[in-house]
Amino acid sequence: MTALDEVKIGGLGASRLRVEDQRFVRGRGTYLDDIKLPGMLYMEIVRSPLAHARITRIDTSKAWQIPGVRLVLTGEMMAQRNLAWMPTLSYDTQAVLATDKVRFQGQEVVVVVADDPYIAKDGCDAVEIDYEPLPAIVNPEQSAAPGAPIIRDDKPGQTDNTCYRWEVGDREATERAFAEADVVSSLKLHYPRSHPSPIECCGAVADFDAGTGKLTVYMTTQAPHIVRAAVALIAELPEHQIRIVSPDIGGGFGNKVPVYPGYVHAILASILTGRPVKWIEDKTGNLISTGFGRDMYLDAQMALRRDGKILAVRMHADTDQGAFFADAQPSKFKVGLLHSAFACYDIGIGYITAQGHYTNKAPGGVAYRCSFRVTEAMFFQERMMQAAATDLGMDQAEFRRINLRRDDAFPARTPFGFLVDSGQYHKCLQVGLDAIGYDQFRREQAAAREKGRLLGIGISTMTEPLGAGNSREYDILGIKMFDSAELRVHLTGKAILRTGARTQGQGHETTWAQIVAHELGIPADDVVVEEGDTDTAPYGMGTYASRSTPVAGAAVSMAARKVRAKARKIAAHLLEVSEEDVEWELGRFYVRGAPERGASIQECAMAAYSNMPDGMEPGLEATAYYDPPNLTWPFACYIVTVEVDPETGVWDVLRVVAVDDCGVRINPMIVEGQIMGGLTEAYAMASMQFQTYDADGNMIGANYMDYLLPTAWETPGFELHEVVTPCPHHPIGAKGVGECAAVGGPAAFVNAVIDAIGDAGVRNIDMPLLPDRVWTALQTRQSVSGAPPVGRS
């Protein structure tokens, strides 16, 4: 008998076409807005037009009079039920509906519930609110200035606008290293506020059934179990009477992790009206009030030896947290995993400090394909590398070669406490350089410069920690960041698998089945995958920060191995040999020495229901909860070439080369899809996508006319390459990958443009590199900042 072909049955390495597609291409997905329950009402929110103001009057009487309006909620009504404020995932509090004050433009002030959303909107227009404006704070400098108004005057003991302080590393050793340096390079920049902006907005359908006492909430959430816990705490409903269902999600990117006030409004509205209530926000609501990413000011220095060796790094980060500290991130790390910066380089000494600032802007900062602020870490890292190489007069690739960890250097501990366990960084860099034709390009660049044309090349190399995370260090609200899988094999050998993850386009329904196929030889087509319903899914911390393959995927593997272990006992029973004499090949147990005598996994499944060994429990299923021993460390090299038009500052991308190592690839097609998506985000952030504010706190970027996402026309093509270094601790050697290109990509684009400008006076141009910023840099031969407020000139 020949063994099964793993690729043919849809195991690891198969570019299996996606199961999800069948419904999506027919328009038969079930997204939140597709859910319609009998008697359902619709909810709209009245939002503050001002960034910082006292509320002096709210009159909802005219709204109540509109036929079809069923409920109008104010902060006062919420306060009577102790629901005007709620805890955030960062141990702060956040207003659910404003009572006396609004603290950011777009903050929720009044909620209207009606028979249809047109009438709800009519109701919103009929609400009268008077405000007394207060000065608006739109950046950390204003926030920290002496005499600045205290934004969080609701917090007892809050005497300024500081949100948190954090530090890591060895300050004294770092100071000593800097004192000994031949060269010290410095760089300051602002990573602008950017918004994940999945095409689908956030929403919920809340349905409290007074007859059973059960609350069901359909919700656009990447982490339904976290939400169930949060609702149990906030709404003080018993956890077993709360069911969170995450239907198909139209993109998450971290935007659909936080618990938003709108969800709480919908839940209360359903309880009060006795009917299901749907809230689906519009794009402006999504952009102006929900979880954004970045808005970090970085100021760092690098201590260098003349031969190019980096001796130490020192960084300070100021983060703009908006009006409430609402980041979804592991609780011990106030600025996420910023301290993963420089992990791919052999640097022994470092010190990082960070301070969070309250401002009159929407709350957030950790979202948007960022791996918990690793986007900021790696962007800054590679921008710093560019600056340092320039200061040393050294080639960009050569400088990286000197400092990248060697293959035999693992495992290695970074100065900030991470354990990097594997990598082939030099190979990855070389594959990239060969693919782009690095030396050839440098020659072309020089020749073009003679003719006044500005060509540039940018390199970004990095490794990042994905798969939060082990229980010693990682938790959210005290809940450890494990994940889970439950696998049940039916009597005909088909199976159902449920996990605590929640796909939003990553293809879990396709890829988790591939892991089962790999472990058990059950064809992937024979395994149905479910996620997202807290009544049926085992407890998981959801899908974000590229954690699902590292954690949930590992759990799938472990559950399948438990099933295989039980099946082995059944096989021994069927084959009438002892267990030690049973061997396994994909899909089949056989007798050692007599391979023609075997039992397929399907035969074992049937036997589990019809012919069990004495004393064995019937059935063939297992659950696994996986606490990862470490994060996984994918790494990458992104190289971009550009041409800049010196007369307009417009730049065009010539080529994008991406070399990614995410260990064993479950489904190469899906991995490539993730990388291309991430590269597009990188291009978007580098070229056009950002949110900013004017001096009054008005947001620019609160709709798709101002918040620009690239279309198929602007977006460049991508050339993808791979290196494979299996993860040493993951059951199938896989690593996370979903965010790598969004994390490492932006610096490649920016480095390329800075390289094209080629003037040491222009050390930095803040993203996005809008044509006017590039042109201004060329004209003034100086760096260009993009920090708000805008419209200052």
Partner 1 sequence: MYPAKFAYEAPRSIQELLDLLARHGDDAKVLAGGQSLVPMLKLRFAAPELVVDINGVPGLDHLTEDPDGTLRVGALCRHVTLERSALLAAEYPVMAAAAPLVADPMVRSRGTMVGSICHADPQGDWASVLMALGGHIVAMGPRGKRPIAMTDFVVGPFQNALQPGEFAYEAVVPPPVGQRTGTYLKLERRVGDFATVGVAVSLEHSGGRVVRAGIALTGVGPATINAADAADVLVGKPLSEETVEQAARLAAEAAQPQADHRGSVEYKRHVVATFVRRGLARGEVVAA
Partner 2 sequence: MSFSKTVEITETSADTRRITVTVNGTPRVVEVEPRLLLVHLLREGLALRGTHIGCDTTNCGACTVLHDGNPIKSCTMLAVQADGHEITTVEGLGTPSELDPVQEGFHREHGLQCGFCTPGMMMAARALLDREPDPSEEDVRWALSGNLCRCTGYQNIVKAVLWAADKQRGAQPAEEDAR
Residue 262: both structure tokens together: 């709108």
Using CB under 8 A as the binding rule, whether residue 676 contacts partner 2 is answered as yes
Using CB under 8 A as the binding rule, whether residue 700 contacts partner 1 is answered as yes
> Pattern 228-267, binding to partner 2, x per CB under 8 A?
--------------------xxxxxx--------------
Name the residue nearer to partner 1 (CB basis): 586 or 688.
Answer: 688
State the nearest-atom distance from the C-beta of 788 to partner 1, in Å: 9
382 is catalytic: no
* CA gap 727, 547 in Å, rounded: 14
Other beta carbons within 10 Å of 535: 13
793 binds, among partner 1, partner 2, none (CB under 5 to 8 A by kind): partner 1
Name the residue nearer to partner 1 (CB basis): 614 or 713.
Answer: 713
Name the residue nearer to partner 1 (CB basis): 195 or 339.
Answer: 195
State the nearest-atom distance from the C-beta of 62 to partner 2, in Å: 16
Identified binder of partner 2 from the candidate list 505, 521, 538, 744, rule CB under 8 A: 505
Q: Where are the alpha helices (H) located in 348-407, listed in sequence order?
A: 374-392, 396-403
Name the residue nearer to partner 1 (CB basis): 213 or 791.
Answer: 791
Binding residues for partner 2, total number by CB under 8 A: 66
Identified binder of partner 2 from the candidate list 6, 100, 115, 299, rule CB under 8 A: 115
Name the residue nearer to partner 1 (CB basis): 265 or 314.
Answer: 265
* CA gap 351, 756 in Å, rounded: 32
107 is catalytic: no
Other beta carbons within 10 Å of 464: 30
Name the residue nearer to partner 1 (CB basis): 492 or 648.
Answer: 648
DSSP state of 551: I
State the nearest-atom distance from the C-beta of 708 to partner 2, in Å: 9
49 binds, among partner 1, partner 2, none (CB under 5 to 8 A by kind): none
Q: Where are the alpha helices (H) located in 151-251, listed in sequence order?
A: 171-179, 224-234
Using CB under 8 A as the binding rule, whether residue 506 contacts partner 2 is answered as yes
650 binds, among partner 2, partner 1, none (CB under 5 to 8 A by kind): partner 1
| Sequence-ordered strand ranges (E) for 419-453 | 419-420
Q: What is the DSSP string of 632-684?
A: B--EEEEEEEEEE-TTT--EEEEEEEEEEE-BS-S-HHHHHHHHHHHHHHHHH
User: Interface residues for partner 2 in 702-721 (CB under 8 A)?
Assistant: 703-705, 709, 711-713, 715, 717-718
For the purposes of burial, counting CB atoms within 10 Å of the CB of 494, is it exposed (0-12), middle (13-18) or buried (19 or more)?
middle
The one segment of 180-188, 435-443, 453-461, 503-511 that binds partner 2 by CB under 8 A: 503-511
Using CB under 8 A as the binding rule, whether residue 680 contacts partner 2 is answered as yes
Identified binder of partner 1 from the candidate list 6, 530, 585, 714, rule CB under 8 A: 714
576 binds, among partner 1, partner 2, none (CB under 5 to 8 A by kind): none
Quote the Cα angle for 139-145-149, to 5°: 85
Catalytic residue from among 124, 344, 370, 637: 370
Catalytic residue from among 193, 243, 369, 588: 369
What is the signed CA dihedral for 217, 222, 225, 229, rounded to 10 degrees? -80
Q: Name residues whose C-beta falls within 8 Å of residue 131's C-beta, 6 or more positions apart in sequence.
A: 48, 49, 50, 53, 54, 55, 56, 102
For the purposes of burial, counting CB atoms within 10 Å of the CB of 610, is it exposed (0-12), middle (13-18) or buried (19 or more)?
exposed
Identified binder of partner 1 from the candidate list 67, 617, 705, 717, rule CB under 8 A: 705
512 binds, among partner 2, partner 1, none (CB under 5 to 8 A by kind): none
Name the residue nearer to partner 2 (CB basis): 423 or 678.
Answer: 678
State the nearest-atom distance from the C-beta of 545 to partner 1, in Å: 28
Are 680 and 715 in contact by the 8 Å Cβ rule? The answer is: yes
The one segment of 55-63, 547-555, 707-715, 742-750 that binds partner 1 by CB under 8 A: 707-715
β-pair partners for 457: 641
Identified binder of partner 2 from the candidate list 201, 242, 429, 571, rule CB under 8 A: 201
739 is catalytic: yes
Helix (H) or strand (E) holding 704: none
Name the residue nearer to partner 1 (CB basis): 144 or 650.
Answer: 650
Task: For residue 474, report the phi and psi dihedrals to the nearest 5 degrees.
Answer: -115, 130
User: Interface residues for partner 1 in 758-777 (CB under 8 A)?
Assistant: 770-772, 775-776
Name the residue nearer to partner 1 (CB basis): 610 or 713.
Answer: 713
Using CB under 8 A as the binding rule, whether residue 713 contacts partner 1 is answered as yes
Using CB under 8 A as the binding rule, whether residue 31 contacts partner 2 is answered as yes
Other beta carbons within 10 Å of 145: 11
* CA gap 763, 29 in Å, rounded: 48
**Strands laid side by side in the 635-644 sheet:** 454-463, 635-644, 651-661, 719-722
* CA gap 392, 399 in Å, rounded: 9
Count of residues in the chain: 793
Using CB under 8 A as the binding rule, whether residue 708 contacts partner 1 is answered as yes
Name the residue nearer to partner 1 (CB basis): 92 or 200.
Answer: 200
* CA gap 96, 75 in Å, rounded: 8
User: Interface residues for partner 2 in 45-74 (CB under 8 A)?
Assistant: 67-68
Catalytic residue from among 200, 464, 739, 763: 739
Are 682 and 382 in contact by the 8 Å Cβ rule? The answer is: no
User: Interface residues for partner 1 in 84-123 (CB under 8 A)?
Assistant: 117-118, 120-122
User: Interface residues for partner 1 in 277-296 (CB under 8 A)?
Assistant: 282
β-pair partners for 185: 302
State the nearest-atom distance from the C-beta of 515 to partner 2, in Å: 17
* CA gap 325, 336 in Å, rounded: 13
218: left (phi over 0), alpha (psi -120 to 50) or beta: beta
Using CB under 8 A as the binding rule, whether residue 262 contacts partner 1 is answered as no
603 is catalytic: no
User: Interface residues for partner 1 in 122-141 (CB under 8 A)?
Assistant: 122, 125
State the nearest-atom distance from the C-beta of 771 to partner 2, in Å: 19
Identified binder of partner 1 from the candidate list 133, 213, 761, 791, rule CB under 8 A: 791
* CA gap 355, 554 in Å, rounded: 35
Using CB under 8 A as the binding rule, whether residue 679 contacts partner 2 is answered as yes
211 binds, among partner 1, partner 2, none (CB under 5 to 8 A by kind): none
Are 312 and 188 in contact by the 8 Å Cβ rule? The answer is: no
Using CB under 8 A as the binding rule, whether residue 673 contacts partner 2 is answered as yes
Catalytic residue from among 105, 107, 222, 396: 222
SS3 448: helix
Are 106 and 289 in contact by the 8 Å Cβ rule? The answer is: yes
Cis peptide, bond prior to residue 411, ω within 30 of zero = yes
Name the residue nearer to partner 1 (CB basis): 68 or 437.
Answer: 68
State the nearest-atom distance from the C-beta of 688 to partner 2, in Å: 12
The one segment of 148-156, 277-285, 558-566, 628-636 that binds partner 2 by CB under 8 A: 277-285
18: left (phi over 0), alpha (psi -120 to 50) or beta: beta
For the purposes of burial, counting CB atoms within 10 Å of the CB of 367, is it exposed (0-12), middle (13-18) or buried (19 or more)?
buried
Q: Write the single-letter amino acid at 339.
A: H
List residues near partner 2 by CB under 8 A: 14-18, 20-29, 31, 33-34, 36, 67-68, 115-116, 118-119, 196-201, 248-253, 282-284, 504-507, 668-670, 672-674, 676-681, 703-705, 709, 711-713, 715, 717-718
Please give the positions annotated as active site. Answer: 222, 369-370, 739
List residues near partner 1 by CB under 8 A: 117-118, 120-122, 125, 282, 645, 647-650, 687-688, 692, 700, 705-706, 708-711, 713-714, 770-772, 775-776, 790-791, 793
